[in-house]
Amino acid sequence: MSSLTFTEQTQQIPIVNLSELDPSLPGGDQWEAARAAVAAALRLHGCFDAIYAPLSPELRDSLFCHAVSELLALPLEVKLRNSSDEPFQGYIGQIPNMPYESLRVDSAPSPSAVEEFTQLMWPQGNPTFRNAVIAFTRPLQDLMKIVHRMILESFGVESLYESFQSSISHGLRLSEYGVPFDKETKIAMVSHIDPNLMTIVCQHEVEGLEVKTADGDWIKVVPSPNSVTVMIGQAFQVHIVGKFDVLDRAWTNGRLRAPVHRVKMTGDEGRFSALYGSRPNYNSIVQTPEEFINEENPRLYRPYNYTEYMKFRYSDEGKGHKDPFISFCGIGQETTA
């Protein structure tokens, strides 16, 4: 059965069971109940924990206990082959005062794309790694399709689903966090909002992910062998947009909000995580559907080129703005540092 668990007093993010659902078979009482739970969670927190049985503990163990550790143990010169013309889309690492490394497998779970990445890292081949990544990302892709469809249905624009799916790409980012250098703050990744459409976060054993509430409190997301965390990004804010207060970062008319989150590690162990993300295709234009524009809800964001925004976000000019997203495409909401 689908369910929503929300306890404000204990500061848990909602939990929604999507295990019995099929992305190709929407509809029915169970689907509608889960959709209502997903919409409520995303309006309040911009994220939720999803229980999804097809993503089994065996698939997780195959990925984290073998594939991820083997990948991140490769020499730096090999990992640097995972390059990209787009900012932060390939290898990330060697950042001062941040013991963090990650690589991105573009277009997973496509077998040809995963094989291309595998050959890049292991020219002699590595079928164990390839098969683990493909098997792990297939249920993640189905889960993401379920949530994408539910969001569009919740706002009455399910007719956009097929065109939406054809306008996006997917990828798997495999990451390792070392013990933070700053023993006082214990911050392993600073607070931020994802620029993409959606991210599904799978933590392996060691907790660290924290989500900021609209009231400014931080909620720890405790890793579970039975769930993953689904988070909305800024690009989805534009697709499903509402009135937004830049100062307190709170949505005011029931639309979605991309959550501020960070990684804080309090123990003495390193941490692996896998992030499966969706984003607009290269050089595609992101814009709010006309169905959401009226006198009460005027257009808040100009249509923008996602690739150009990513370049701006990480440029010296973009870093000079308090909110590069608002500065790049917001209407009448310029912010500077």
* CATH code, 230: 2.60.120.330
Residue 106 domain-assigned? yes
pLDDT of residue 248: 29
Structure tokens given for 27: 């509809």
Domain of 181? Answer: 4-298
pLDDT of residue 7: 36
The model's pTM is: 0.87
Q: Burial letters for 14-31: b for 16+ Cβ neighbours within 10 Å, e otherwise?
A: bbbbbbebebeebeeeeb
pLDDT of residue 240: 55
* Number of separate domains in the chain: 1
- Alpha-helical (H) ranges within the chain are 29-44, 57-62, 69-72, 76-79, 111-121, 127-154, 161-166, 234-239, 306-313, 316-319, 324-329
pLDDT of residue 336: 45
Structure tokens given for 181: 């250098």
pLDDT of residue 326: 86
Strands 209-212, 261-264: pairing is: antiparallel
- Across the chain, which has 337 residues, the per-10-residue mean pLDDT values are 40 90 94 94 91 94 92 96 84 86 95 97 96 97 96 85 90 91 82 91 89 89 88 78 34 61 85 93 83 76 88 88 86 57
Gap between the Cα atoms of 136 and 54, Å rounded: 9
Residue 328 domain-assigned? no
In whole angstroms, what separates CA 253 from the centre of its chain?
A: 23
CB 23 within 8 A of CB 145: yes
pLDDT of residue 129: 97
Residue 310 domain-assigned? no
Residue 308 domain-assigned? no
pLDDT of residue 11: 66
68: left (phi over 0), alpha (psi -120 to 50) or beta: alpha
pLDDT of residue 254: 37
Residue 128 domain-assigned? yes
pLDDT of residue 31: 97
Gap between the Cα atoms of 104 and 174, Å rounded: 6
Element housing 49 (H / E): strand 47-51
